[in-house]
A and B are shown apart, each in its own frame.
Chain A
C-alpha cells in the first residue's frame, strides 16, 4: 500500500506538469492549428527566470511573477515574429518553425543564464508528510494544487468570460469569428501568451523537486505533445487526462517494471492506445469534408 501511494503521488506530480504542457499545446492548437514544439521552453523559462531572479535577491513570489511575465512575453513574440508571418504554411512547415524557435530560445537561455542545473527552495519546507506509510513532499501538493487551480481558472475563463468565448469562437471557425467582429489576431496572441504563462507556472512549481536547466524544455515538449495526443488533440480535458495518465504510466513502470524503460513503457502504451483509438482517449472521430 505504501509503495502504491508513493508511486501514485510521484506519477500525479510529474503527470500534472505534463498536463500543463499538454494544456498549453491544446490552447495554441485550438486557436491556430499550430502544434507548438517550443512549449517546453516556456516551462524552462519559468524555472530559470525564477531561479536567477531569486538568487539575485528578489523575493520568491515576485521572482515567480517575473518569470510568468517573461514567458508570456516570449510567447507573444513567438506568435508575432515567427508564427503570424508564416501564416498559411503547411502543418509540417509550422512544426519546423516552432522547433527552430525552440532551438533559438534554448540557445539564448544558454547564453543569458548558464549550463548548470539549478534548484529552488521548496515553498513550504522539505519535511515529508506521511500518508498511508508513504512519504509525500509538500511541494508535490503545491504542484497538484497549482495545476488544479490553473485548470479550473482556464475553464472558468473559457466558459464564463467574453474574451474566453471569443477564443472558443476563433477555434471553432476563424472566418465566422472575424465576421461577428472578433479580433482574431488578438485572440491568437492571447492564446500564445496564456499558454506560455501556464507552462511557466508548471516550471516554477516543479523546479524545487526536479531541478531545472536551459535544456529541460525538449523532453517536456515531447512528453507534453505525447500527452496531448494521448488525450486527443484539441480537447482540454483530454490534455489533462493524457498528462496524468502519462505521468502515472511512467511512475508505475519505473516502480514495478524497470526504471530504465519507463519512457519506453509510456510510449508503448501510447502506441497501443492509438492503434485502438486513432483519435486518442477523448478525441472525437474526425468528420472530414470531402
Chain B
C-alpha cells in the first residue's frame, strides 16, 4: 500500500458514516442544501481526481462538461419536451461524446499546453451557453421543472441530500475500483513516465482518453444533478472560475486521493458560505487560506495529514 492511501473499505465506510451522521447533526434545510452541494461538487471532483491524480493530466476547463450536463438537463424539457431525467442522460452522453472526439488531439499535448487547450475548450462551451440566448436563456439562466418519478415529485432538501449522497458513494466506489483495475495500473504507469509505460505495452493514448471520458461523465452527472436539485442554472456552472474551483478541490484535498477529492469539495463548498461572516474580507480570506493550505500541506489535506500520522506512529 502506498503511504497516505487507505483500503477501499475504509474509504467507503468513512463516506457512508459521514453521509449518515450529517443529517443527524445538521438537520436544518439550509445545512442539508449546503451538504447536497458538497456531494454534487464531490462527484465532479472525483472524476477530475482520476484525471489529475491518477493519470497526471490537467484540465482547466472541466466545468465545461458540468455545463453540458446541467444545460442538457434544463433544455431537454424546454425545447424537446423530454422529461428532465432522460435529458440528463442525453447530456451525460453528449459530454462523453465531446470528450471522446476532442480527447485524442488534446491529450497529445503535455503539461501547460494541455492546460491551455482544456481551458480553451471550457471557454468555448461557456461562450456558447452565454451567447445563444434564444436557446439557453443567456446570462439570465434558465428554470427547470420538477422531476417526477413514478408520478411523484422529487423535492425537498432531505430527499436530494440522500440522492446526491448515494451518488457520491457510488461514484467513489467506481473510482476506487478503477484505481485497482488494469486501467488504473496503466494510468499510474503513464503518470510516472509515458515512455516507460509505452515500452511495457501500455496503450498510452487510449488510456488517457478513457480516463478523460470518465472524468467528463462524472462532471456532466454532477452538472445534471445540480440542475435538477437547484431547478435553476446560469452559465456560471460552466465558467472558468468553476473549472479552477474544481481543480482546487482536487489539489487541496490531495491529488490522487479519492477521499481527498471529497474533502476538498467539502472545504471549497462550505468555506465561501462560512466566510460570509467576514463580509467584504471574504475573498481575501479565501485566497489566503488556499495559499496557506498549499504551502503547509502541499500534498493536500488527506495525504498530508495521513502522512503525518504515519510518521508519528513509526517515530
Query: A residues 56-107 with Cβ under 8 Å of B?
Result: 82, 85-86, 89-93, 95-97, 99-107
Contact (A274, B291) CB under 8 Å given A92-B52, A110-B283: no
A102→B251 CA distance, assembly (Å): 17
**Chain A residues whose C-beta falls within 8 Å of the C-beta of B287 in the assembled complex:** 100-107
Contact yes or no, B195 A290, CB < 8 A: yes
Name A35's closest neighbour in chain B (CB-CB).
B112
- On whether A92 and B240 interact (CB within 8 A), knowing A86-B294, A110-B280, A264-B127, the answer reads no
- Compute how far the CA of A268 lies from the CA of B108 in the bound complex, rounded to whole angstroms: 17
| From B121, B241, B284, contact of A108 by CB (8 A) | B284
* A101, B292: Cα distance in complex, Å: 10
Given the complex of chains A and B, what is the CA–CA distance between A224 and B251 in angstroms?
Answer: 23
Q: Which of B121, B280, B291 contacts A100 (CB 8 A)?
A: B291
Interface size class of B (residues with CB under 8 A): 35 or more
Assess the A107–B283 pair: CB atoms within 8 A.
Answer: yes
Q: What is the distance, in angstroms, from A119's C-beta to the closest C-beta of chain B?
A: 24
Alpha-carbon gap, A220 to B117, bound state (A): 17
Q: Say whether A263 contacts B123, CB under 8 Å.
A: yes
The reply to whether B291 and A90 form a contact with Cβ atoms under 8 Å apart is no
Task: Select from chain B the residue with minimum beta-carbon distance to A275.
Answer: B105
Residues of B within 8 A of A89 (CB): 294, 298
Tell me how many residues of A have a C-beta within 8 Å of chain B: 47
Q: Decide if A226 touches B120 in the complex (CB within 8 Å).
A: yes
Q: How far is the CA of A261 from the CA of B128 in the complex (A)?
A: 8
Pairwise interchain contact B247-A268, C-beta atoms closer than 8 A: no
Tell me how far the C-beta of A196 lies from the nearest C-beta in chain B, rounded to whole angstroms: 17
A99-B244 in contact (CB<8A) = yes
B58 CB–A CB distance under 8 Å: yes
- Count of inter-chain pairs, beta carbons less than 8 A: 134
Find chain B residues with CB under 8 A from A106 CB. 283, 287
Contact A96 B290 (CB under 8 A): yes
Give the docked Cα–Cα distance between A286 and B111 (Å).
11
Contact with A along B19-34 (1 / 0, CB 8 A): 0000000000000000
In the complex, the answer to whether B294 meets A111 with C-beta atoms within 8 Å is: no
Tell yes or no: A271 within 8 A of B by CB: yes
What's the dominant secondary structure at chain A's contact region? Answer: helix
Measured between beta carbons, the chain A residues less than 8 angstroms from B195 are 288, 290
A198 at the interface (CB under 8 A from B): no
Q: CB distance A222 to B294 under 8 Å?
A: no
In contact, B286 and A264 (Cβ under 8 angstroms): no
Asked if B288 contacts A100 (CB within 8 A), the reply is yes
A229 CB–B CB distance under 8 Å: yes
Taking a contact as CB atoms under 8 Å apart, the answer to whether B290 and A92 are in contact is no
A52 at the interface (CB under 8 A from B): no
Q: In the complex, how many angstroms separate the beta carbon of B108 from the nearest chain A beta carbon? A: 6
The reply to whether A229 and B284 contact each other, CB–CB distance below 8 Å, is no
Q: CB < 8 Å: which of B196, B240, B294 contacts A93?
A: B294
Most buried by A among B196, B247, B290, B291: B291
Any A CB within 8 A of the CB of B252:
yes
Would you call A104 and B291 a contact (CB within 8 A)? yes
Chain A: CB-nearest residue to B199: A290
Is the beta-carbon distance between B252 and A96 smaller than 8 angstroms? Answer: yes
With A107-B283, A111-B284 as contacts: A92 and B117 at CB distance below 8 Å: no
CB distance from B186 to the nearest CB of A (A): 19
Give residues of chain B (130-173) contacting chain A, Cβ–Cβ below 8 Å: 131
What is the CA–CA distance of A267 and B127 in the complex, to the nearest angstrom?
A: 11
Judge if A164 is at the interface, Cβ distance under 8 Å: no
Contact between A290 and B193 (Cβ–Cβ < 8 Å)? yes
Interface centre among A101, A102, A103, by most chain B C-beta atoms within 10 angstroms, is A103
Residues of A within 8 A of B58 (CB): 91-92
Shortest A268–chain B CB gap in Å is 7
Interface centre among B52, B113, B286, B289 (most CB of A within 10 A): B113
User: What is the minimal beta-carbon distance from B25 to any residue of chain A, in angstroms?
Assistant: 30
Given contacts A92-B247, A229-B115, A278-B108, 9 further A-B contacts (CB under 8 A): A86-B294, A92-B58, A99-B248, A100-B288, A111-B281, A222-B240, A233-B113, A274-B109, A279-B113
Can you spell out 30 A-B residue pairs with CB atoms less than 8 angstroms apart? A82-B291, A82-B295, A86-B298, A90-B255, A92-B58, A93-B294, A96-B248, A97-B294, A99-B244, A101-B291, A102-B287, A103-B283, A103-B286, A103-B287, A103-B290, A106-B287, A107-B281, A107-B285, A107-B287, A110-B283, A222-B123, A222-B240, A225-B116, A226-B116, A260-B127, A264-B123, A267-B119, A267-B124, A274-B113, A278-B113
Which 8 pairs show the lowest CB-CB distances between chains A and B? Answer: A104-B287, A100-B290, A107-B284, A107-B283, A103-B287, A267-B120, A229-B116, A100-B291
Residues of B that sit less than 8 Å from A by CB: 52, 58, 105-106, 108-113, 115-117, 119-121, 123-124, 127-128, 131, 193, 195-196, 240-241, 244, 247-248, 251-252, 255, 280-291, 294-295, 298
